[in-house]
Structure 1
């Protein structure tokens, strides 16, 4: 997909907004993955590559890639297993190669089998997680990094306990800046001020105002401490910058644990990326289609390069993507711009960016979370009925209370259960609601009757009253599973005789062998014409 400059102005500013959201995410995910004493720069490397390289290679118009919170637990475990970071980087390179192969094998089409109610539930669940996770930052309590979406924390806390704990550490300055930022953002959106004041998105205004307020609050009761501000590494020399790059140890290529870690990263990162671009296509106002197989190739190349120069593994990320769309992104140029801003910022203006309060970024994410989990969405699926609403709701609960992948899996399982249940009901129909002795009953089979329908058909046949006349009609049936044929045959040979039930079979072809039993002389058989 070629890069277009048709929407240059809107893409420049949406890229800037995504950069402001992505910056603390990159830093926080690096700290969560590597520990507080390690350099957070591997997260920045991943964000830059995710923006520039994957942004260029991907055929998704609005998705944004970078380090993902969903990979933190895998990274921590992997480094603990492999002992050395450079060996872990080799696993990242191999993971990228696996993703590249999966793309060429066209494995991305698997994402098309996820129903829309599960995708929408995933988005709403992420929205709720984002909203809840930003409340402590809004209060000025930054124990967990910005953008963390895990319900259970390593310190034993969880999303809700962190919120209550934050109430004991309220920073007046942080709360004030968050409230002012929210007011600016809401007014900017409500009155469409951006349409009147061109090239000035609300998020950018909120950030500029927050920096000015942070400076104004210095030396007062509203002063915001350093731990509540963006914390970008500052390089004092070229050697400082050069030393942050680490290269993989290729001598560990024969270590089977490296391959296990690589396969794990490749699978999880691929699934998360595919889910994200599905979600991105649904959020895209223009409803454009993204090629999932191309996305796997792009993600693979991105992870290969990230591993080669010391970066974390990456995926397409819903938080960045939704921020991108909400900021008005029209093309992939926005993702590339955000990557360029990340690169330039760490080289030129880290001292300025380090004055941005985390509470103003929390305000931006609070609104993003609210829009993803809008009450209108819940009403929409509730009105569609329980078959649509239940998988949607279960997915939300799973994403919020466990994690994204397990939440989606729960939603899929519920959807499959509902499909099977519906399939059981549709396998046949009665012409009567209440059954009595002596009735004439027609059991009409559906087009396809599988082994999954066996239990329901068996129960219905067993409940038929004595002395009835029963027609089992298969005239419109294309396929009947052999197990169901045997079940009907056994009913005809034994149960129907015991209960004096006269049976007429319509549409059962002779090769079903129902006509070749002497014990079936009480049955009328009509073959398909």
Structure 2
């Protein structure tokens, strides 16, 4: 079995390693930006990214999910650091949150992810795509005044994003704009059928070409046309470790003060909050990743919760931020051709090597290159054809989809998903309401069919059908297809049977009372399933 797995992973190395490079290029600045926005040490974001790549890639049940620090937890982390009196209190809460996630996985709580309608999941993907586009335009134009909100939405981000978007158009940096436009053209060129059919070009990912272009352009203009170069604040900014001691000093290991935080009741409140939010974001991202998987594989959700729990325990013990499965990085991996977990592991290895040895060189990468990669990823997630497709499926699919998109844009990921779920649930109930009972007419004969499960929710529809049946007619009530009939439905039918003779309506019943063995029907004689 192990040999078979090795063969499987080796067979896809040509796709997974380039995809891992792409995810690394996307994840690197986001890990730093999320740490900065959280009020945490910059290196804590990188630790979270390392755990996601090196550890969770193999513990996860998903071949494509990429884990790391998520911007959806930024406000929680920022407030926790203040509430708990420092960063170390957050680390204790992160460890406790991981333990809670482990327990949730053992209790099989991961099943909740399967109850999200497809329209809501697709709406989340489209909303994230639009968020990427909105949040990356300032980076692409050289007006990147904020780091937070690149992957998710928070309320303050929602209020400021559109303002920042318009400000970006008035504060354009020529160098950043040229880099991002050319990078986008390169990405589009690399996705054309001709380029995809060239075997030698498959080994070179388009995003990597975009990054090389940006570094080369900025190096040239700094030397020969400084006015067209990108300023240092618009470049990747990694902490540089001069030696191994500097590198390992960035980790925050447990000490005696950890125990003092266990006596603070606020730690447990924060831990439960992180566990719930991180678990929901993970399950939603996992559902979305499964939707994007070209091979249509299904990841075991309970195993994912356990894996995330272990990841958060390790991250908290080493001084890292809480981690979740992140749809943006997962989508970037899939769009770059990633096929197995090796892509995620590769991104973790590259993160490790970069912070150990290459920090000073990676700091030459313009943020505009990375913005172009995310803009292109955002376009793929929010492709106009997707909106058209859902519109053509009808309002029962389009409304949950578009309302989820709008709700996420104006609130945040979790609130938007909750609103989308309510709308989706409404249409599910509405569809079942009409499908559970049908009435067909053939001259003066009516067929009332009870389909599958008929609950009390269908009582009003049943009464409507019964009242529409005129006098001097015949009715057949067919319950042979029903697996369950609610007490209220049976009672309504009995009332109809009692009053039907007054209107000269004859009634035939097929297999009705076999559904409710415990009820006594003394007013009717049932023979071979018929009255």
- Asked if TM exceeds 0.5, the reply is yes
Q: 2:420 aligns with which of 411, 416, 419?
A: 411
Aligned residues: 513
Distance 1:158 1:417 in 2: 32
Looking at structure 1, the residues matched to 442 and 239 of structure 2 have their Cα atoms a distance apart, in angstroms, of 73
Q: Distance in 2 between matches of 1:202 and 1:15?
A: 13
Whether the 8 Å contact between 1:505 and 1:526 is mirrored in structure 2 is no
Q: Deviations over 1:312-344 (max 9, x none)?
A: 000111111111112222221111111111111
Helix, strand or coil: the match of 1:221?
Answer: helix
TM alignment of 1:138-217, pairs within 5 A: 138-145=140-147, 148-151=150-153, 154=156, 157-190=159-192, 191-192=194-195, 195-197=199-201, 199-217=203-221
> Which residue does the alignment assign to 1:63?
65
Q: How far 1:18 sits from its partner (Å)?
A: 0.9
CA distance in 2, matches of 1:289, 1:46: 25
SS class of match (2:368): helix
Q: What are the residue-to-residue correspondences of 1:47-446 with 2, within 5 Å?
A: 47-145=49-147, 148-151=150-153, 154=156, 157-190=159-192, 191-192=194-195, 195-197=199-201, 199-218=203-222, 220-248=226-254, 249-432=258-441, 441-446=446-451
Q: Spell out, residue by residue over 1:328-380, the C-alpha distance to the aligned partner (whole angstroms, 9 max, x if none).
A: 22221111111111111112121111111111111111111111122232233
Per-residue CA deviation, residues 210-238 of structure 1 (Å, 9 max, x unaligned), is 11211222262212122211111123455
Q: 1:13 to 1:261 in 2, by over 3 A?
A: same
Equivalent position SS for 2:414:
helix
The 2-side partners of 1:297 and 1:124 are apart by: 28
Distance 1:352 1:433 in 2: 80
The secondary structure found in structure 2 opposite 1:288 is coil
Q: CA deviation at 1:390?
A: 2.5
Per-residue CA shift, 1:52-71, capped at 9, x if unaligned? 01012223212211000111
In structure 2, the partner of 1:519 is: none
Could you state the TM-score of these two structures normalised by the residue count of structure 1? Answer: 0.89
> What is residue 16 of structure 1 aligned with on the other side?
21
Give the Cα–Cα distance (whole angstroms) in 1 for the partners of residues 155 and 420 of structure 2: 24
Q: Which runs of 5+ in 1 are unaligned?
A: 517-522
Q: What corresponds to 2:529 in structure 1?
A: 528
The alpha carbon displacement at 1:504 in A equals: 2.2
52-61 vs 477-486, which moves further: 477-486
SS at the partner of 2:227?
coil
Q: Please say which of residues 470-479 and 115-124 is displaced more in the overlay.
A: 470-479
In structure 2, how many angstroms separate the alpha carbons of the residues matched to 1:41 and 1:206?
26
Measured after TM superposition, the shift of residue 119 of structure 1 is 2.1
CA distance in structure 1 between the aligned counterparts of 2:377 and 2:396, rounded to whole angstroms: 28
Whether the 8 Å CA contact 1:28–1:147 is kept in 2: the answer is: no
